[in-house]
Chains A and B, each alone.
Chain A
Amino acid sequence: DVKVTQSSRYLVKRTGEKVFLECVQDMDHENMFWYRQDPGLGLRLIYFSYDVKMKEKGDIPEGYSVSREKKERFSLILESASTNQTSMYLCASTGGAAGANVLTFGAGSRLTVL
């Protein structure tokens, strides 16, 4: 029944390391999203993609990049991790019968940058 899978639930990295967060969905959804969730700030959109090899900046793209080489996979990349990127990262997708504005989320990846 799992629909959006984030491969890493917990990661600990050091400042300056390159970090990859992987997300895979099995619903053939066109649209995929990366959010970060922080206490007192709610969810903030980092990047999204409406098609393979396509990406759009969200509200807080600085310090992040993304890759979508296949329809089912959307990767978030931190080129040089910093402590202020310690957060919960949520991947989501939309499409199909549920519609373009109903998100299906993964369980999240909690990243700690030391």
Chain B
Amino acid sequence: GNSVTQMEGPVTLSEEAFLTINCTYTATGYPSLFWYVQYPGEGLQLLLKATKADDKGSNKGFEATYRKETTSFHLEKGSVQVSDSAVYFCALNLYSGGGADGLTFGKGTHLIIQP
């Protein structure tokens, strides 16, 4: 079946550090890939997405590139801020036009940024 593996953390960094959160996936086809973020006390919200190989999603200084050869979608940010502290979820949807019932989520990575 389809699955998403990501580092669970917590990941603790100092402000302005470089961030990488690894995400790898297993899927029987060519999925769309997503990063969602959950700030404290809130629901999840879409951070970025990529729908085909070599696509780069970006938003709020975060980037992730769809790497088919390594089945990965690692999240990066050049200089993190305290306000980036949150839980980050990697997800895939096997069918690019499919509904959200086809979404498979990773277990989430808790990121803590210290001033």
Q: Which residues of A contact B (CB under 8 A)?
A: 4, 31, 33, 40-43, 45, 48, 50, 56, 58, 90, 92, 94, 98, 100-108
Which of B8, B32, B41, B100 neighbours the largest number of chain A CB atoms within 10 Å of its CB?
Answer: B100
Tell me if B42 and A101 are in contact (CB < 8 A).
no
Residue among A41, A90, A92, A107 making CB contact with B107, cutoff 8 Å:
A41
A106 to B45 Cα, complex, angstroms: 9
Q: Contacting chain A: which of B12-20, B58-66, B91-99?
A: B91-99
A33 to B44 Cα, complex, angstroms: 13
- Total B residues in contact with A, Cβ cutoff 8 Å: 24
Residue among A31, A94, A103, A107 making CB contact with B42, cutoff 8 Å:
A107
Tell me if A42 and B107 are in contact (CB < 8 A).
yes
Known: A42-B107, A43-B105. A101 touches B43 (CB 8 A): no
A87 to B41 Cα, complex, angstroms: 14
Q: Give 1 or 0 for each of B17-34: 1 = CB within 8 Å of chain A CB.
A: 000000000000000101
- Point out the residues of chain A lying under 8 angstroms from B98, CB to CB: 100-101
A92 to B89 Cα, complex, angstroms: 15
Known: A31-B100, A48-B101. A103 touches B32 (CB 8 A): no
Name 11 extra pairs, CB < 8 A, besides A31-B100, A100-B98. Answer: A40-B107, A42-B89, A42-B105, A45-B103, A90-B43, A98-B46, A101-B32, A101-B93, A101-B99, A102-B100, A105-B45
